[in-house]
Structure 1
Amino acid sequence: MTTFTLILAALIGFEHLTIMLLEMFAGPHTQSQAFDMPFDFVKQPNTRIALANQGIYNGALGLLIISTLFFFSGTTLLTIMRLLMLFVMIVGAYGGLTVTKKIFGLQLLPATIVFILLFL
């Protein structure tokens, strides 16, 4: 496991923190553009609540990825990071199939690359 791979993993963690910020704090116009959703849908109160709830999960995932880099080392770090990247891959695949295809490139692809690098 190289420093380069760990930096890429940290970037995925920061990506999820950014997604959290968009889901929880961005305005409806920004959210509709970022997530390819109709503006009228995104501005509905129930949608705003659902996006904020989803943001908490993305934030937790991002913090978990980043904190893992500081609290673990060796094979423990490797095992946990593989598990987290697998989780991001599953979430990215589901999001790409159900929300917008760009999630394949923004979440699934980077996590898959790091996942593969963690085995080298």
Structure 2
Amino acid sequence: MELFIFLLSGIIGLLHLVIMGLEMFAPMEKQAKTFDMPHEFVVQKNAQIALKNMGIYNGSLGLVMLVSLFLFQGDIRLKVLLLLNLFVVIVGLYGGKTVTKSIYLIQALPAIITALLILLQLV
């Protein structure tokens, strides 16, 4: 089961790097479509600053999740992954509520499943 947990955590980490790329580097048309935002909003300077700021956070979270797969061992690795996946759950639930419902499925649900598997493994 640990291998499955590591695989899911790795996918979630990579997903957050992809989200970072979309938030920071994607064309504005792609950002508007992906994040279900009006194009007129996305082209505003302050909206771009906010998107890039969110991108830094998503990229950092994804990178830390991926690095933790190699940096830690045993129960410590599982506990760190649990913490990081719980962060993703919180971010995913908030994003699903405030941005677009698809975030529930794309971000929150995989992290919930992974966190539950980690809890089962630690018990």
Q: 1:55 and 1:100 mapped to 2: Cα distance?
A: 16
Unaligned segments of structure 1, at least 5 residues: none
**Identity within the alignment, %:** 52
Deviations 1:76-106 (A, max 9, x none): 1011111001110001000011111010000
TM-score (norm 1): 0.98
Offset at 1:11? 0.2
Q: 1:49 and 1:85 mapped to 2: Cα distance?
A: 26
Q: 2:50 and 2:86 mapped to 1: Cα distance?
A: 24
Aligned counterpart, 2:18: 18
Q: 1:39 and 1:33 mapped to 2: Cα distance?
A: 8
Q: 1:30 and 1:116 mapped to 2: Cα distance?
A: 33
Q: Aligned residue pairs: how many? A: 120
The answer to whether residue 25 in structure 2 is matched with residue 2 in structure 1 is no
Q: Secondary structure at the match of 1:37?
A: coil
TM-score (norm 2): 0.95
Write out the 4+ residue segments of structure 1 that deviate beyond 3 Å after TM superposition. none
- CA RMSD in angstroms comes to 0.7
Offset at 1:2? 1.6
Q: 2:46 and 2:119 mapped to 1: Cα distance?
A: 42
